[in-house]
Amino acid sequence: MQLLVLSNGHGEDAIAIRIIEQLQRHPRSPQITAFPLVGTGYAYSQLNIPTIGQVKQMPSGGFIYMDGRQLWRDVRGGLLQLTLAQFNTVRRWAKTGGKILAVGDIVPLLFAWSSGAEYAFVGTAKSEYYLRDEDGWLPQTSRLERWLGAVYLPWERWLMSRRRCKAVFPRDTLTTQILQQWSIPAFDLGNPMMDGLEVEARDRAPLHLCGINSSHKGWVSRSTWSWQNSSSPAKSQKDSLVILLLPGSRMPEAQRNWRTILTAIAGVIAIFDRRPILFLGAIAPALSLEPFQKPLIERGWNSCPISDAKVAAFTLGSTTLILSQTIYAEWLSAADLAIAMAGTATEQFVGLGKPAIIIPGEGPQFTYAFAEAQTRLLGCSAILVEHPERVVSEIQSLLDDADRWQQIHQNGRRRMGSPGAASRIANCLMEKFMDNS
């Protein structure tokens, strides 16, 4: 069986990769080809997955729905011509008789339907949590949205209910339950975003090369003790407070976000001057570390000599900050909380049962509209502050409230689901597609 995987964004590519890896382990593994509709398909090239079609990085990075100006920039950058070429490529490929897996939003879903092939859909962009929770509609949900009945619009539900659509995999249980009301073949198998994240943190960062404060030595072995006990890490003032920094994955936005985050952590350092703090900056592998190191040096941080080109360490007094492009899952496990201006990474962190303090940026992704929507998606686990200077007071409030910590822990687990989703989805895909071969 031939399978074409369509995805439209960095986060969507990463989710698709997790499913592909599980499909490759299947006894009847399909011949897989990918088509990244947005961006350059870096994730696929890292796994040596062949790609087809024309790829191009648009000015918006794929976030035209956040700002009409971004749409106009993309149109001027060749969006219409690119979309038409991609549409024709998918239709030509479908004539080979293969199946299609669409990962993302209505764009890959529409491409899959229009191809004439059988298809399945992994919905990453929408969740009922944007409109409601288990107790009912959110106050900010409009009358129109309530009348439409679901976060997926009628034409999206129509595409998912076609006979050629063999399976739909929503991102959470609540969304699955709502879609099933329209006889859509929706399966509640979890969210692949959470696969491979709950690891035992290992001391892979070369801390000893930097003369780092001895109080940090046990940070990785401590890992998620505060989450396993569902209590605040304020228990012991002697332990390092470990804070994850997530500036996003697209340039130049990530660089602007990074400067905003550095403003936020300056206040944290000033307030927690008697407690050791370890900042962990998770930088996307496709980016360069240099734009993130320069602002640190400008602000007085001292660089430490490290041989690993994917890691950079800095100190400012007794505070340590480490940048890495490789130590991701371990850092999500090790951190107590996050200061975030990112999409997928923030959701993954919250899914581990931890709080993320989010700050709106200039976009095109992490605007105020995006951040506000993220608070609805993630509930009490995502704490929105409009200015970076407000981060420190939110951290103080979190550390002083064990009950809130417990609520955040339970909320994040419920909204993002349990690990193992990619394997469950891969097995279901093979079952549904092979039944019709």
The span from the CA of 193 to the CA of 382, in Å, is 17
Domains and CATH numbers, the chain: 2-194+419-434 (3.40.50.2000), 207-416 (3.40.50.2000)
Per-residue confidence band for 176, with pLDDT thresholds at 50, 70 and 90 = very high
The span from the CA of 167 to the CA of 164, in Å, is 9
DSSP per-residue letters across 29-62: --EEEEEESSB--HHHHHTT--B-S--B--TTSS
DSSP per-residue letters across 157-177: HHHHTSTTEEEEE-SSHHHHH
CA-based R_g, the chain, Å:
22
Residue written as tokens 């439209």?
Answer: 8
**Which pair of tokens denotes residue 345?**
């990474």
In three-state secondary structure terms, 393 is helix
Q: Which of 24-28, 63-67, 179-183, 342-346 has the lowest mean pLDDT?
A: 63-67
DSSP per-residue letters across 119-162: EEEEE-S--GGGTEETTEE-TT--HHHHHH-SSS-HHHHHHHTS
In this predicted model, which residue has the larger pLDDT, 284 or 338?
338
**Which pair of tokens denotes residue 43?**
């994730």
Q: Which of 28-37, 164-173, 185-194, 211-220 has the lowest mean pLDDT?
A: 211-220
The span from the CA of 245 to the CA of 259, in Å, is 11
Per-residue confidence band for 202, with pLDDT thresholds at 50, 70 and 90 = very low
Residue 382 has pLDDT above 50, yes or no: yes
The span from the CA of 263 to the CA of 421, in Å, is 37
Amino acid 219: pLDDT: 40
In this predicted model, which residue has the larger pLDDT, 145 or 206?
145
Name the residue among 331, 403, 416 with its Cα closest to residue 374.
416
What is the helix (H) or strand (E) element at residue 416, kind and residue range? helix 402-416
What is the helix (H) or strand (E) element at residue 402, kind and residue range? helix 402-416
The span from the CA of 168 to the CA of 101, in Å, is 10
Read off the pLDDT of residues 253-302 as tens digits, 9 standing for 90 and up: 899 999 999 999 999 999 887 788 999 999 988 788 899 999 999 999 99
The packing angle between helices 253-271 and 290-298, to 10°, is 40
Has this prediction a pTM greater than 0.75? yes
**128-145 average pLDDT score:** 95
Tell me how many degrees the CA angle 416-338-267 measures, rounded to the nearest 5. Answer: 155
In DSSP terms, which residues pair with 165 in a beta bridge? 119
The span from the CA of 29 to the CA of 1, in Å, is 8
Amino acid 420: pLDDT: 93
How many CB atoms are located within 10 Å of the residue 92 CB?
12
What single letter denotes the amino acid at residue 197? L
The span from the CA of 164 to the CA of 436, in Å, is 10
